[in-house]
């Protein structure tokens, strides 16, 4: 298997395990990723950590050899397949954290962009270099990147194909935090800030924020009101408010 899944301290840990190819994404590996998402969603994990095997790369992007000599319909279906796999992340029922331990280019950066959060080591390098091959990003990069860092910066990255380092990524809001040491330990430390909260509320909050980029302020406020109302109906909300009044720590049950 080129995609591994393990569990530790409430986290599902997905590893892209193809270090000899810098963890590049083939269509078969995209299928494996989707199946790992199924297993993580069916587990009792409260966060999904995603990392790349080896010391060099999180994921260096798509397998270019596999993309050549495909007809028009196959190319379109391939892009839509990659998009559909990455689009599953926000609906897994748990937050996700990309642990960028090296190169994150093309589809690798697009995978990280689809995660809830991104952490990176100082030596990490990121970019969407498809323009250098006469192509453009096809797994969501042209849509998620501007929503994250703004249209002007996204256009510069995409249209020049330039590589940015971790410090710049942190400065422009592409990553949430830099880390050193073991990536899983870093992911667990970061996740400790939210892993104890109820998953329904975390999911509602995530949905409200990511849907803000797809609508007007007026419509977004209605979405927020609807999701806030749903949150109030959960047992976790009742427990949280009761615990506040009783001056104790709440015991959320994801219900």
Per-residue pLDDT of the chain in tens (255 residues, 90 and over written 9): 799 999 999 999 999 999 999 999 999 999 999 999 999 999 999 999 999 999 899 999 987 777 777 888 888 898 999 999 999 999 899 999 999 999 999 999 999 999 999 999 999 999 999 999 999 999 999 999 999 999 999 999 999 999 999 999 999 999 999 999 999 999 999 999 999 999 999 999 998 998 888 888 899 999 989 989 999 899 999 999 999 889 999 999 988
Residue 38 to residue 40: CA distance in whole angstroms: 6
Q: Identify the three-state secondary structure at position 109.
A: helix
Task: Give catalytic status of residue 219 as yes or no.
Answer: no
| Distance (Å, whole) CA 20 – CA 239 | 49
Domains of the chain: 3-191 (3.90.226.10), 199-245 (1.10.12)
Q: What is the pLDDT of residue 51?
A: 97
Strands 3-8 and 11-16: antiparallel
Of 20, 66, 80, 110, the active-site residue reads 110
Rg (CA), the chain: 19
Instruction: Let me know if 130 is a catalytic residue.
Output: yes
Residue 220 and residue 211 in contact, taking contact as beta carbons nearer than 8 Å: yes
Residues forming beta bridges with residue 179, ordered by sequence position: 121
Please, are residues 38 and 3 in contact by the beta-carbon 8 Å criterion? no
Catalytic residue among 20, 55, 122, 130: 130
Euclidean distance between CA atoms 94 and 44, whole angstroms: 10
CA distance 70 to 85: 20
């Amino acid at each position: 298997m080129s995609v591994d899944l393990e569990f530790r301290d409430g986290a599902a840990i997905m590893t892209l395990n193809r270090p000899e190819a810098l963890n590049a994404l083939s269509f078969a590996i995209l299928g494996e990723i989707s199946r790992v998402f199924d297993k993580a969603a069916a587990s009792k994990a409260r966060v999904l950590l995603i990392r790349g095997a080896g010391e060099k790369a999180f994921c260096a992007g798509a397998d270019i050899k596999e993309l050549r000599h495909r007809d028009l319909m196959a190319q379109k279906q391939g892009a839509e397949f990659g998009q559909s796999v990455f689009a599953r992340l926000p609906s897994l029922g748990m937050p996700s954290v990309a642990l960028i331990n090296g190169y994150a280019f093309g589809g690798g950066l697009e995978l990280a962009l689809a995660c809830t959060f991104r952490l990176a080591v100082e030596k990490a390098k990121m970019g969407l270099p498809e323009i250098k091959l006469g192509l453009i990003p096809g797994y969501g990069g042209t849509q998620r990147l501007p929503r994250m860092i703004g249209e002007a910066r996204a256009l510069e990255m995409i249209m020049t194909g330039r590589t940015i380092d971790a410090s710049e990524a942190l400065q422009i809001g592409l990553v949430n935090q830099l880390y050193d040491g073991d990536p899983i330990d870093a992911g667990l430390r970061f996740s400790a800030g939210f892993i104890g909260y109820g998953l329904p509320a975390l999911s509602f909050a995530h949905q409200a924020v990511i849907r803000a980029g797809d609508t007007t302020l007026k419509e977004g406020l209605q979405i927020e009101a609807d999701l806030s109302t749903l949150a109030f109906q959960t047992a976790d909300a009742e427990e949280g408010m009761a615990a506040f009044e009783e001056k104790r720590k709440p015991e959320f049950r994801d219900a």
